[in-house]
């Protein structure tokens, strides 16, 4: 992800699947504001211990439910190793695009999982 985004400018980032904050640290250096979201409270606790930057807001959220963070405008949305766990990708991308004017959408997932998701989506 870092290699992909290194030359892209962004101000407000929505990081879905922040986990322990590995990418959050880097995104916080490049962005004015980062909203870092994860389903796991345990992972968020580790990220909060690691990252003390004032421009990062952590949120515990299930992205298959209503998004409480969508009131903000993001010019970058990242998904890290999350989408392979989601059955209805159409709903997720609809939520992402509904109130955002993002310039870049960065998705990182395992190829085998990606292929399985594509098969599921084509069967619908």
48 phi and psi, to 5 degrees? Answer: -65, -35
pLDDT in tens, 16-72: 999 999 999 999 999 999 999 999 999 999 999 999 999 999 999 998 898 877 667
What is the pTM (predicted TM-score) of this model? Answer: 0.79
Question: Per the structure, how many domains does the chain have?
Answer: 1
CATH of the domain at 80: 3.40.50.150
pLDDT in tens, 72-92: 788 888 888 777 778 887 888
Q: Supply the range of the domain harboring residue 37.
A: 2-123
């Amino acid at each position: 992800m870092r290699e992909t985004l290194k030359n892209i400018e962004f101000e407000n980032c929505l990081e879905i699947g922040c986990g322990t904050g590995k990418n959050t640290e880097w995104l916080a250096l490049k962005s004015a504001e980062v909203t870092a979201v994860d389903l796991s409270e345990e992972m968020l606790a580790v990220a909060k211990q690691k990252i003390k930057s004032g421009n990062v807001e952590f949120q515990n959220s299930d992205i298959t439910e209503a998004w409480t963070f969508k009131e903000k405008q993001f010019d970058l949305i990242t998904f890290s190793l999350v989408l392979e766990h989601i059955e209805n990708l159409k709903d997720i991308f609809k939520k992402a695009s509904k109130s955002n004017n993002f310039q870049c959408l960065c998705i990182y997932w395992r190829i085998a999982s990606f292929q399985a998701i594509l098969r599921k989506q084509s069967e619908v």
